[in-house]
Amino acid sequence: MKSVIKRFPILVVDDDPVSRTLLEKILKKEGFDVITAQDGKEALELFQKHYIPIIITDWVMPKMDGIELCKAIRNMESPGYVYLIMVTSNRSDKDDIVKALESGADDYVSKPFYMPELLARIKTGLRILELERSLKEANEKIKRLSITDPLTGCYNRSYLNEHLPREIKRTIRYEYPLSISMADIDHFKKVNDTYGHQAGDEVLKAFSNIIKSLTRNGVDWIARYGGEEFIIVFPETEIEGVKAAVERIREKIESTPIKTRRYIINITSSFGIACFDPKRRKDISPDKFINEADKMLYEAKKEGRNRIKAVLL
């Protein structure tokens, strides 16, 4: 529970300084990280600056009461669920409980509260937040798997089809060049025929890892286009810059023996580059962009492989 507590701080909202300080001390003694506010308005301002997943709030307060605070928080977008506990005196009939719950509160405790009960209700909130976190992590993992090539860890064709149009729109909007390169392992069929498909898979993984190591993390991205072909996307990169970057990749691949489980395999690669400059032309379709890079790749192979060819669009 300690690790959970550290992940989820608690915001205590109460206009009574004695009650607020007492609850803060008790919760801190139990190991919770506690933030305090003297009314709903201050609490909302704190929440707008920092996501706080557990809020214990008094009902009757000046400026903004607990009901208004709950409604305001429920109407906001936040990175995760917020577990709200309403604490108040002289409002313990069923209609008040219904009003609190309908305003967005998850739970309700009357003053003077029994501390073990309040702690138990907080732990209920923690279990819900942990469940949400686990579910979110599982969904993110599923999403990653859906856009990732399982062999190389690069993005897959589906990701390319979705995100390349976005890159084109962005480059048109801000008027900076966008470059792509289609990369291909030379004579890859011969690698599979000579060393076997398992070794061929290891070559593909090593090939993609070399490309990743020589591209800008968080800026450039790589997608497996099919078989031994990969698309490298270089945002904000003009033609001379992308030619220099791809040449470094080509040289590294040529000079790096690939160690598989049973063999050491030397490979070379060919690259076709297309650079779209929105200052030269207004628009380009993703298919046209890729086709131009593919044409350059064909030219590189036609001229003897292990080289790059580029075109400015």
Domains and CATH numbers, the chain: 2-144 (3.40.50.2300), 157-312 (3.30.70.270)
Query: Three-state DSSP class for 192?
Result: helix
Q: How far apart are the first and last CA of the chain?
A: 59
Backbone angles phi, psi at 109, to 5 degrees: -135, 135
Average pLDDT over residues 121-140: 91
Q: Is there a contact between 293 and 274 (Cβ–Cβ < 8 Å)?
A: yes
**Sheet of 221-226, strands arranged across:** 221-226, 229-235, 178-185, 269-276, 308-312
Active site residue 30: no
pLDDT band at residue 178 under the 50/70/90 scheme: very high
99-104 long-range contacts, CB within 8 A, separation 24+: 99/67, 100/59, 100/66, 100/67, 100/70, 103/66, 103/67, 103/70, 103/71, 103/74, 104/70, 104/71, 104/73, 104/74
In the chain, beta strands by DSSP E: 10-13, 34-37, 54-58, 83-88, 107-110, 178-185, 221-226, 229-235, 258-259, 264-265, 269-276, 308-312
pLDDT value at position 217? Answer: 93
Asked if the bond preceding 9 is cis, omega within 30° of 0, the reply is: no
Q: How far apart are CA 92 and CA 45, in angstroms?
A: 28
pLDDT value at position 36? Answer: 95
Task: List, for residues 202-244, the tens digit of each pLDDT value.
Answer: 999 999 999 999 999 999 999 999 999 999 999 999 999 999 9
pLDDT value at position 174? Answer: 95
pLDDT value at position 2? Answer: 43
Is the pLDDT higher at 1 or at 276?
276
pLDDT band at residue 3 under the 50/70/90 scheme: very low
Structure tokens at 72: 């305001």
Q: How far apart are CA 169 and CA 138, in angstroms?
A: 31
Tell me: pLDDT of 4 over 50. Answer: no
Task: List, for residues 236-292, the tens digit of each pLDDT value.
Answer: 999 999 999 999 999 999 999 999 999 999 999 999 999 999 999 999 999 999 999
Catalytic residue among 130, 228, 236, 254: 228
pLDDT value at position 304? Answer: 97
Alpha-carbon 9 to chain mean position? 23
Q: Is there a contact between 196 and 294 (Cβ–Cβ < 8 Å)?
A: no
H or E, element range at 299: helix 286-302
pTM, two decimal places: 0.68
Q: How far apart are CA 132 and CA 135, in angstroms?
A: 5
